[in-house]
Chain A
Amino acid sequence: MAKKLLLLLFVTSSVAFSQDLKLSALTVNPELSEGADSVFRNEEITLDLSREGKLKTLISRVVTVYNKAGLGDVAAYVGYDNNTKVNSIEAYIYDLSGKEREHFKERDFKDVSAVDGGTLYADSRVLYLDYTPTTYPFTVHFISETTSETTAFLRPWMPLSRYKSGTEFSKFTVIYPPEQTLHVKETHLDGYAIEKEELADRTVWTAKDLAPVTWEYSAPDLDQRVPRVKCFFDTFYLSGVPGIAKTWKDFGRWMYTDLVKDTQDLDQATITEAKALVAGLETDEEKARAIYQYVQDKVRYISVQVEIGGWKPMNASDVHRLGYGDCKALSNYTQSLLKAVGIKSYYTVLYGKSDKESLDTDVVAMQGNHAILGVQLGDEIQFLECTSQETPFGYMGSFTDDREVLLLTEDGGKLARTTKYEQDENRVALEAAFKFDASGGLEGTITRASSGIFYANRMSLARLDQKDLSDYYYKAFDAINGLSVSNIQLNNDRMNVVYTESLDARATNYGSKVGANFLLRLNAFALGRDAIPPKYAHRKSELIILRGTTQEDKIAITLPEGYEVGALPEDVVIEEQFGSYHATFRREGTQLYYTRTLKFNEGNYPVAQYENYRDFYKTVVRNDSQKVLIQKI
């Protein structure tokens, strides 16, 4: 009887719980649904770490969905793998009035491999709900529970986790043994109704009534704009393997000892081969270059994620034999070879992303999604991207440049920053010499040299076949209507990291005909109107220019016999905080000379500056398109 009562009590309380939930779309606070695809009505996420080495994640999420775009906001799925078990998963669908329409149990969820196209093998799988709504709005209640042997990655709490989605209520609970110390990093909580309650065995955050945010051009990522809480502990488990965080030093030492060290198992023959490669070379840099070139010639990138949740590199000896591996395996292999020839280098963990995302250095925990190699050359560290067969020695593209990374040194972990390219280095220098003919056509040569961050954009051009290469220039120089290119020469100076292209160009009808005369735009590479950043009625976020850049154009145009040029436009000088624009117009006999320098300054600019930034672009576009009248004499 007592048992029955208990059960009854339990049932009653859970009913009471669900009655508490607002399930009807009619009761949504209109301020939160304005412009939203969905509204989170009630989200409760609990991370239960009370059992040593286990992470139990409970999710209960009630979302009202307004349209197709909001369907994904429900996130009615859980990922799992060999170390993560799905204990339960279910979902309820409620109609407009909050009446239950459907109930999906675990067997109704689809079970598929979660391996992306770039990966050959991984054990990740996902259970997801494939639901077609018959009508909008409707409300979903999604409930899941998983248990993982990995406690190294604690999902951050973001009560606003999606663009164009409002939140009525969100609660985040972290339960942990009292002997553990919970470290917390909270960002952007100010200005929101967020409360925090700290108890002996748990910490609880709640948030209420958060209005939706939308994606904006050149703005910070969502997680840099909205409230976020990151939690971490001094110790953790990675697929059952215990690890230490505490300080970056300890963490790095652990990672090196437990994940990396014993995979560096090159045999004597390979070591001898490596030594032979550098025989006769004097400096460490020469040797390192020789080894890096050897690796680039030998290996290719193949992603296979097996050992320790994909965090342990493949053995160096296997990479040597197979000639492939992922970023971890290839960095580790390169490091092993360098070690064999007496050069010190560091396995380096970072975020590989084009937005310069740094490791969150305040949060000592497993982070990052990529590995590269830092080579100690004297006092300097040169970073090597080991997954590429064409990246020059020491070159960092936009995927890895200028960000905080973690080096695994023999003294433990150490934070460092990857190479940054300054405004002067990020340079595209374009020179063109054209002849303008009496039928309105243009013919001549174009040379373009790219360095710094722009080098990466050109690096792979030689891989295009002739047709794709021509098409590439038709797109790159689309301001020249009717362009045809030939005699394309590509010069990849990997030593100095400068990429030079030269080609012959011809365009019929470049000049706009006006009776017997022509209107001629001197800047054949003018920015088009589509370069102007989008307009926002109410932009909310600051403007980010990630990298300073310099673009220089020098154009010479020879006029045909029997024609003369009318008045030249005046030189242009514009200086703004985010950049500058200089253009000059000259004439010498039948020759016209045009120069133009466009610079952008790296920085974060307040939202109020955004309209000025658009205006700057508009001015550039207007000045770029300035024409001169070519008159028949």
Chain B
Amino acid sequence: MRKITWFAFLLVTSCGVAQDFRFGKVTVEELQEEVHSKDADADAAILYREQFSHIDYFENDGLMLTTEVYERIKIYNTDGFDWGTQQIPLYTGGSKNESVGKIKGVTYTLNGDKIEESKLRNDGIFDEEKNKFYDVKKFTMPNLQPGCVIEFQYEVVSPYLSTIDEIRLQEEIPVNKADVSFYTPEWLVYQLHRKGIFPLDIEQTSKAATINYRVRQGVSNGGSVGFAQRSSVGSGVQMRKIDYQKKGYKVLAQDIPAMREEAYSSNIDNYRAALSFELSFTQYPGEPLETITSSWEAVSKTIYDSENFGGQLKSVRFFDDDIDELLAGANDPVEKLARIYEFVKQKMVWNKYIGIYADEGVKEAYKSGVGNSADINLMLVSMLRYAGLDANPVILSTRDNGIPVFPTRNGFNDVIAGAKIGEHTFLMDATNKMGMPDLLDEELLNWNGRVIREDGSSEWVNLYPSKHATESTIISSEITEDLVAVGTLQSRYTGNYGLTYRKNLGSRTEEEQLKAFEQMHSGVDIADLELKNALEVSNPLEVAYNFEMLNGVEEVGGKLYVSPLLHVTTTENPFKSEVRAHPVDFKFPWKDRYIISIKIPEGYTVESLPESALYHMTDKMASYVYRVSASEDKINISTEMAFNSSIIAPDYYQDLKKFYETIVTKQNEKIVLTKI
């Protein structure tokens, strides 16, 4: 008995302490709070976020998704005011539109110990027609002041049931409490996806429910939930009902920390705690099961079966003559692949739109010479297959789009071509004029892609390049009488380095290119810049120039102090922050090699050289080799820095920071020359 009382007492007290999250029940304590109890840097905090989504039957419209949103937000300072403006995008590009209603908002402020309310009125609510697909409903809360609390609620009704948009549980400010739920009739079966580092408990329920609806006599309905159709025939009306199970998903989460941006990160959205639902199959009463998605295999197959995807790979007639001619005399499969890739790359102009589905249609695009990424790369697949190669489309998610963590159609937003020759699968993107087989733009280097075969089977393929992007630079220099380091430099760039340089420099004038290099190595004057193989992408990009370096040599007390790496010295550690929450992402493995010779000026001799050294990061993720030696009239320096892994987990951040610091220090050691 005592136990029970104690327990009951606990319950009561905890209820007493808990905040009341009903609209309007804002307390003085909430208004008085000056900083967030767990995150003093927070400009605002979501005290409570409730999202209640449910699919219901409406006699006139059929099944509709209603999303009821209610939030209570604390605003600590003026930087938090941005949270006082909310934007709700509404899809209007279809035959049926989304709509938003029941908008209600109140700003609470404290006057002494009295709570004052300012209501959101119509003059704070705006409609913007963004384009022909989207409207945006915007509202901005009145009378925001540091310390205030705002509450708002609204309801979005949508006829689109195939996905429930991502429900965020984590924001750039702390979320104290979130209550998110989704209910659907058993006929629509959804796949639940969760992402982020923060753990979420999802409670699933099932409850009996009933739909009552009217049927006009004379219309056969068969109990189908295509029951939205109406008929003007017949006059008698009969009430019917259907019993069904209502499936529910519910997440209660507390104290979800704020997310913050960091340099050298991939898309931060990848780490956000969020839920989404995607329709995987439907089984209406009396109708057969229809699969939509459920697994990677099913998603891949659904995509492949689409007319705008797999359908595009069927017809070869419009190009067969051209390809026959192109391949005349080519027997080696690699040779065939190279010719076809080059052909599509040269022929087609990318309209800058990406997508997994053909926009113009491959045939139309072939005629006009313009298309989106699917038009172009599906064309490539089709031609490679025609040439007898084992070619397949590879769908992927670009960096902007985040990593496709769960099987969804929307998780993928771009398609490239893959062709397997022997054990190796060549990856190709023909939209990229600077691309090559196995050389993709860094925006596409995002985890895995999924190759989909003609029979509908599919598997993952790693998108990251296996080869390092390399820079090999040779510098030969001397020190003039007025203590300026002058010399010539020759660099070769391969892999993604070559691609990036070509992309950034290719369309620029000579003067701009020159300026770009001067900016990269600030403080040098560059002349006679020469770029080789700017367009011959199968060869390394070659850069050569003459340079004059302002302060590579210093005279202190009659001695000369020379920076061994001249203008290619790393003077700064790019990793300065003490802590790191997300991985550092270099996008591809890389290796920079420098071979430098510095002629010893007349009348001087080497007094001391920096010591050669070798540094490693844990597990050989990265290495640095530094060698200095002197011959009779020259000092020779060679260095090599390599990152074998393009992604460094936060656990290794301190190691990375230290590694860079050591290298920066080493590179800044001087050669000392004395007068003979």
**Residues of A in contact with B (beta carbons under 8 Å apart):** 35, 67-69, 110-113, 115, 120-121, 125, 132-135, 297-298, 300, 302, 304, 318, 321-324, 389-390, 463, 465-467, 470-471, 474, 478, 481-484, 508-509, 512-515, 519, 528-532, 534-535, 537, 566-567, 569, 618, 621-622, 625-629
B126 and A120 contacting across the interface, CB-CB below 8 Å: yes
- A321-B118, A483-B576, A626-B554 given; 9 more Cβ-contact pairs under 8 Å: A67-B507, A69-B507, A125-B129, A322-B123, A323-B144, A482-B664, A530-B519, A621-B523, A627-B554
Is the CB of B142 closer than 8 A to any CB of chain A? yes
In B110-149, which residues have CB < 8 Å from any A CB? 118, 123-124, 126, 128-132, 138, 140, 142-146
A121 / chain B contacts, CB cutoff of 8 Å: 126, 128, 138
How far is the CB of A183 from the nearest CB of chain B, in Å? 38
A470 / chain B contacts, CB cutoff of 8 Å: 576-578
How far is the CB of A95 from the nearest CB of chain B, in Å? 12
How far is the CB of B31 from the nearest CB of chain A, in Å? 16
The bracket for how many chain B residues form the interface is: 35 or more
Specify which of B145, B664, B669 is in contact with A514 (CB 8 Å cutoff): B669
Is the CB of B608 closer than 8 A to any CB of chain A? yes
B556 / chain A contacts, CB cutoff of 8 Å: 519, 566-567, 569, 626-629
How far is the CB of B342 from the nearest CB of chain A, in Å? 17
Specify which of A302, A471, A515, A618 is in contact with B576 (CB 8 Å cutoff): A471
**Residues of B in contact with A (beta carbons under 8 Å apart):** 41, 77-79, 81, 84-85, 107, 118, 123-124, 126, 128-132, 138, 140, 142-146, 260, 349-352, 368-370, 507, 509, 511, 515, 518-519, 522-525, 550-551, 554, 556-557, 559, 561, 571-573, 576-579, 608, 610, 661, 664-665, 668-670, 672
Q: Which residue of A lies closest to B558 (CB)?
A: A567
B519 and A534 contacting across the interface, CB-CB below 8 Å: yes
A-B interface pairs (CB < 8 A), number: 160
Please, how many angstroms separate the alpha-carbon atoms of A534 and B573 in the complex? 24
A322 / chain B contacts, CB cutoff of 8 Å: 118, 123-124, 142-143
How far is the CB of B276 from the nearest CB of chain A, in Å? 26
A534 and B518 contacting across the interface, CB-CB below 8 Å: yes
B561 / chain A contacts, CB cutoff of 8 Å: 512, 514, 519, 627
User: Could you name 30 residue pairs across A and B whose Cβ atoms are closer than 8 Å?
Assistant: A68-B507, A111-B132, A113-B130, A120-B126, A121-B138, A297-B145, A297-B146, A298-B145, A321-B118, A323-B144, A324-B140, A467-B41, A474-B577, A478-B572, A481-B664, A483-B576, A509-B665, A513-B669, A514-B672, A515-B608, A515-B672, A528-B523, A529-B523, A530-B522, A532-B522, A535-B518, A566-B557, A567-B556, A625-B551, A625-B554
B518 and A113 contacting across the interface, CB-CB below 8 Å: no
A621 / chain B contacts, CB cutoff of 8 Å: 523, 550-551
A134 and B525 contacting across the interface, CB-CB below 8 Å: no
B260 / chain A contacts, CB cutoff of 8 Å: 465, 467
Q: Which residue of A lies closest to B610 (CB)?
A: A513
How far is the CB of A517 from the nearest CB of chain B, in Å? 9
Q: Which residue of A lies closest to B561 (CB)?
A: A519
Given A120-B138, A512-B668, A132 and B507 touching (CB < 8 A)?
Answer: no
A300 / chain B contacts, CB cutoff of 8 Å: 78, 81, 84, 144
Please, how many angstroms separate the alpha-carbon atoms of A514 and B611 in the complex? 10
Given A529-B523, A532-B523, A135 and B573 touching (CB < 8 A)?
Answer: no
Please, how many angstroms separate the alpha-carbon atoms of A323 and B119 in the complex? 12
How far is the CB of B43 from the nearest CB of chain A, in Å? 8
B143 / chain A contacts, CB cutoff of 8 Å: 298, 321-323
B124 / chain A contacts, CB cutoff of 8 Å: 322
Given A110-B131, A321-B118, A322-B123, A508 and B661 touching (CB < 8 A)?
Answer: yes
How far is the CB of B353 from the nearest CB of chain A, in Å? 9
Please, how many angstroms separate the alpha-carbon atoms of A628 and B130 in the complex? 62
Q: Which 6 residue pairs of A and B lie closest in terms of their CB atoms, listed nearest first?
A: A529-B523, A530-B522, A465-B41, A132-B351, A323-B143, A474-B576
Please, how many angstroms separate the alpha-carbon atoms of A625 and B351 in the complex? 50
How far is the CB of A113 from the nearest CB of chain B, in Å? 5
How far is the CB of B89 from the nearest CB of chain A, in Å? 12
A482 / chain B contacts, CB cutoff of 8 Å: 573, 661, 664-665
B554 / chain A contacts, CB cutoff of 8 Å: 519, 625-627
A629 / chain B contacts, CB cutoff of 8 Å: 556-557, 559
B515 / chain A contacts, CB cutoff of 8 Å: 534-535
A112 and B131 contacting across the interface, CB-CB below 8 Å: yes
Please, how many angstroms separate the alpha-carbon atoms of A25 and B77 in the complex? 58
Specify which of B130, B350, B522 is in contact with A528 (CB 8 Å cutoff): B522
Please, how many angstroms separate the alpha-carbon atoms of A465 and B261 in the complex? 12
B665 and A481 contacting across the interface, CB-CB below 8 Å: yes
Please, how many angstroms separate the alpha-carbon atoms of A239 and B138 in the complex? 25
Please, how many angstroms separate the alpha-carbon atoms of A446 and B126 in the complex? 49
How far is the CB of A162 from the nearest CB of chain B, in Å? 15
Please, how many angstroms separate the alpha-carbon atoms of A629 and B559 in the complex? 10
Please, how many angstroms separate the alpha-carbon atoms of A135 and B347 in the complex? 10
Specify which of A132, A537, A626, A627 is in contact with B370 (CB 8 Å cutoff): A132
B131 / chain A contacts, CB cutoff of 8 Å: 110-113
Please, how many angstroms separate the alpha-carbon atoms of A482 and B30 in the complex? 42
Please, how many angstroms separate the alpha-carbon atoms of A133 and B369 in the complex? 9
B661 / chain A contacts, CB cutoff of 8 Å: 482, 508-509
Given A112-B131, A566-B557, A529 and B370 touching (CB < 8 A)?
Answer: no
How far is the CB of B249 from the nearest CB of chain A, in Å? 34
B576 / chain A contacts, CB cutoff of 8 Å: 470-471, 474, 483
